[in-house]
Structure 1
Amino acid sequence: MTVAADRTTRTPASWRRIDRAAGGLALDLGLYAASAAFAAVTAATSTLPPHRAWGAVAAFGYLLAALAVAGQLAARRRDAAAPLAGLPARWAVTGFAWAATTLSPLLLQSAQRAGGRIDRAQEEVVVVEHSGNRLVETGTPYLGHDAIAALPADDRLLGYTPYQPGMALFGLPRAVADGWWTDARVWFALATALFLALAVRALRPADPAAAGDRPAAVLRGIQAATVLPICALTLATGGDDLPVLALCLLALALAAADRPGRAGLAIGAAGALKLFAWPVALVLIAWAATRRSAGKLALGALGLPALALLPALLVDRDALVENVLRLPLGHGLVTSPAQSPFPGHLIATALPAGRVIAAALLVAAGAAIAARLLRRPPRTAATAALICAYGLLAAILLMPATRFGYLLYPVALLAWASALTRPAPDAAATLTGGFAADRRRGRPPRRTPEV
């Protein structure tokens, strides 16, 4: 169905100029140089051992990537059409950067942890692996209230699994064997790479000559989801958010390719892992409604999370409620450690009745987004990505319990929106297509506009 009001989402001219400077290499150099500085500062100042270990390795990886881009810029100055300055070479440097700044520290920390270092993983890695083991032994990844209360006070936080049941699948390898390759982060990385590769494939144009700026925008979006420090650090030290993010990006890519059924399956799989994907699913359903395919998308978007919840609900309903609802809402036996100083957390802790105020602000933001979806549902995948990005940013800023790492969602979604924008059609091709359509419909041929 053709949607007449469907307009191409336009990127601000100032950002386009920055992004395209020196064929995209100028921003590449800035990204890798700034990331090298961030990693070096992290290695020197972080209070978290896994973060310091990541920074010590990643700083050199980013530096090498920056030097590679500097070489590309030098080649471009000599010859603007030099292969080293082209898009394939930029993809190669991005792949190297991800291997050097994410996979290398991840595998190193996994091997050190398998060798006995207990300070080489964040708590979420242990939580996911424990949930996988419980899934094998009991049929549910969750401990009930009484079982958590029976743990020593210092161990109760690790007794909670504040994720959807599907996340436990990444902990299954550790339930089978104990080694570096069973570390949950290894499987987070493999899943992330697979889902991002599928997203890139979904956005591949049928006619490369008509692709426009989309290939370069896809690369920029992949950089934001992989080598940007907020994503690289998260995957190397914890990682549970990256498969969720990659599935969200895949769902939006499939929406841009006008495949609502597959988009529903992708976002449904993300929702079976973590609640952060559920708002994205609602936005995509609103997008699908403009194409009269909301039911097709909702079947996967809502059905997969429901199927994932069903076994845990049947085995131990109270354990599911304790982990998935009570802890995030602040009614668990422990307090969530996610306490970054964003406005919602500051309001909740500093003002009288602060939690009520923060909750009211969060509900108001959600109501505003819902009203926008009802009045003007997104007609393009790019617009849907922008709504998701700004909506999640508002939620992260207003939630009483949140953390800086969650910002990877809005940052990556904002970068991905440009990759979802449909290439502007060539004027001559559009005119020729119009002539052909007129002939098929038996209309008089339209007159070529005078120049």
Structure 2
Amino acid sequence: MTDLLKRFDRAWNGRVADLVLYGVSAAFALITAFTSTLLPHRAWGAVAVWGYLAAFLIAFGSRSIVVREAVAWVTWSAVALLPLVVQAVQRAGGRTDRAQEEVAVVEHMGESLLHTGTPYLSRAEIAALPVDERLLGYRPYQPGMGVFGLPRAIAGDHWWTDSRVWFAIATVVALAVAVTLLRSSPLRVRAVQAATVLPVTALTLATGGDDIPVLALCLLALALAFTGRYGWAGAAVGAAAACKLFALPVVAVLAVLAVMNGRWRRFLPPAIGLPLLALIPPLLVNADALIENVLRFPLGHGLVTSPAQSPFPGYLISQAVPGGRYVAAGLLVTAAAVIGLWLIRRPPRTAAAAALFCGWGLLAAILLMPTTRFGYLLYPAALLLWAPALSLGLSNHTATTAPRHDTALYRQ
């Protein structure tokens, strides 16, 4: 698979892959601008289509890796950061249709954290809200996500206090460090594109954004593990897990990788400690509010149900089959058990193998969850495309190369 990707990447000095990516992305943005039922998405498409079209034209003359990587970063600015700022400015000016609901949820988390010490409302406080506002009363994220809402809570309503702006800042820092660590990889351009200009990634950052810094921190953790910096890898993925549960599978896989390479003493304390430390304040202030938001609501036992209803197998089974929610949950648990068994029997010994484990595992989970979103696919997409760059880079800092006699299925 890696050899096939290398050949495709080298076709016409990499321009074939670039042209396909930017051309398809431009078509996606155009279709989104005219057909999406979500107004923030339509606004994103109307701006992003021009950035993708410009990148498509520039790609014809982009031969060197340096130029192609620069084009990727500039394109990301045009298709994600620019639409984000435009929507944040319009929202600050009074437009209520320039952000997805999770933006306001995160900002409410910051406000509650600042004034009460916990980012969560209790069940009784949510029940006291008007019926049509109860959904936004739930904050189904880990406590660390509330940090991104603090600027608005402290400084008031401005475009630069929009939580998406701070998602973007954290993402830029994490990705810049990660790509620097992968500078020796001949596929680093693809790594940059996977984390930035893929439409599902750019759209999510511009309109909602809460998943993007979590993804960026996970990718940074993989890059740090690739270079043997397991302590910092633990801190990066621990910070991600302190914000969102989607990072926990990455924590588990990287923990196995650290154990296999004898680096678990450096990795585990920050990887496990940061999420646990983030839980202490809300547990002390109101433990039941934490459970209501982080456990009951996602499991379907809140006062309202989650609107995450993308037509993936888990959701379709839960709706069409008698007792379908339990059937889908059973399939999800079974898939997790199979992947866990595979992880034990064929543990990853390289960062690339760990990225593949994470990507395929999260893809299975997203497809089988009874309530899920199409946008969650950005996790497996980026992780699976990140893996080749991790396998083809050259590192002098790590001993994460699999033995020559190892015939495990995860070998590249």
TM-score, length of structure 2 as denominator length: 0.94
**Higher alpha-carbon Rg:** 1
| Structure 1 residue 262: Cα displacement | 1.0
SS in 2 for 1:276: helix
Identify the residue that residue 109 of structure 1 maps to in structure 2: 87
Over the matched positions of the two proteins, sequence identity in percent amounts to 63
For the aligned residue pairs, the C-alpha RMSD in angstroms reads: 1.2
| Structure 1 residue 17: Cα displacement | 2.0
Return the match for 1:237 from 180, 199, 207: 207
CA distance in 1 between counterparts of 2:207 and 2:316 reads 27
Return the match for 1:28 from 18, 21, 28: 18
Return the match for 1:389 from 349, 359, 364: 359
2:222 counterpart letter in structure 1: L
Q: Assess if the C-alpha contact under 8 Å between 2:121 and 2:137 holds in 1.
A: yes
| Structure 1 residue 71: Cα displacement | 3.1
Task: After superposition, give the CA deviation of every residue in 1:365-418 in whole Å (9 maximum; x if it has no partner).
Answer: 111111112112100010000000000000000000001100000000011101
1:201 counterpart letter in structure 2: T
Return the match for 1:97 from 75, 88, 105: 75
Return the match for 1:132 from 94, 102, 110: 110
Return the match for 1:380 from 333, 343, 350: 350
| Structure 1 residue 15: Cα displacement | 2.8
CA distance in 2 between counterparts of 1:107 and 1:65 reads 20
Identify the residue that residue 431 of structure 1 maps to in structure 2: none
CA distance in 2 between counterparts of 1:277 and 1:390 reads 14
SS in 2 for 1:362: helix
Q: How does 1:258-269 map to 2 (within 5 A)?
A: 258-269=228-239
SS in 1 for 2:60: helix
1:227 aligns with 2:197: yes
Task: Between 367-376 and 45-54, report the one with greater CA deviation.
Answer: 367-376
| Structure 1 residue 14: Cα displacement | 3.0
CA distance in 1 between counterparts of 2:358 and 2:122 reads 33
1:234 counterpart letter in structure 2: T
Task: After superposition, give the CA deviation of every residue in 1:66-89 in whole Å (9 maximum; x if it has no partner).
Answer: 1111233xxxxxxxxxxxx21111
CA distance in 1 between counterparts of 2:13 and 2:127 reads 58
CA distance in 2 between counterparts of 1:393 and 1:264 reads 23
CA distance in 2 between counterparts of 1:155 and 1:329 reads 20
Q: How does 1:30-429 map to 2 (within 5 A)?
A: 30-72=20-62, 85-177=63-155, 178-204=157-183, 211=184, 214=185, 216-423=186-393
1:313 counterpart letter in structure 2: L
- CA distance 1:159–1:42, shift in 2 (3 Å): same
| Structure 1 residue 201: Cα displacement | 2.1
Q: Assess if the C-alpha contact under 8 Å between 2:2 and 2:388 holds in 1.
A: no
CA distance in 2 between counterparts of 1:89 and 1:38 reads 24
| Structure 1 residue 298: Cα displacement | 1.2
Task: After superposition, give the CA deviation of every residue in 1:35-58 in whole Å (9 maximum; x if it has no partner).
Answer: 111000000000111000000000
CA distance in 2 between counterparts of 1:66 and 1:422 reads 26
- CA distance 1:422–1:56, shift in 2 (3 Å): closer
CA distance in 2 between counterparts of 1:422 and 1:121 reads 39
SS in 1 for 2:18: helix
2:272 counterpart letter in structure 1: L
2:152 counterpart letter in structure 1: R
Structure 1 residue ranges without an equivalent (≥5): 1-10, 73-84, 205-210, 426-451
| Structure 1 residue 423: Cα displacement | 4.3
Q: Assess if the C-alpha contact under 8 Å between 2:318 and 2:328 holds in 1.
A: yes
TM-score, length of structure 1 as denominator length: 0.86
Q: Assess if the C-alpha contact under 8 Å between 2:69 and 2:192 holds in 1.
A: no
2:43 counterpart letter in structure 1: A
SS in 1 for 2:245: coil
Aligned residues: 394
CA distance in 1 between counterparts of 2:90 and 2:248 reads 35
Task: After superposition, give the CA deviation of every residue in 1:150-204 in whole Å (9 maximum; x if it has no partner).
Answer: 1011100100000000000000010122100000000001100000011112223
CA distance in 1 between counterparts of 2:181 and 2:66 reads 18
Structure 2 residue ranges without an equivalent (≥5): 396-412
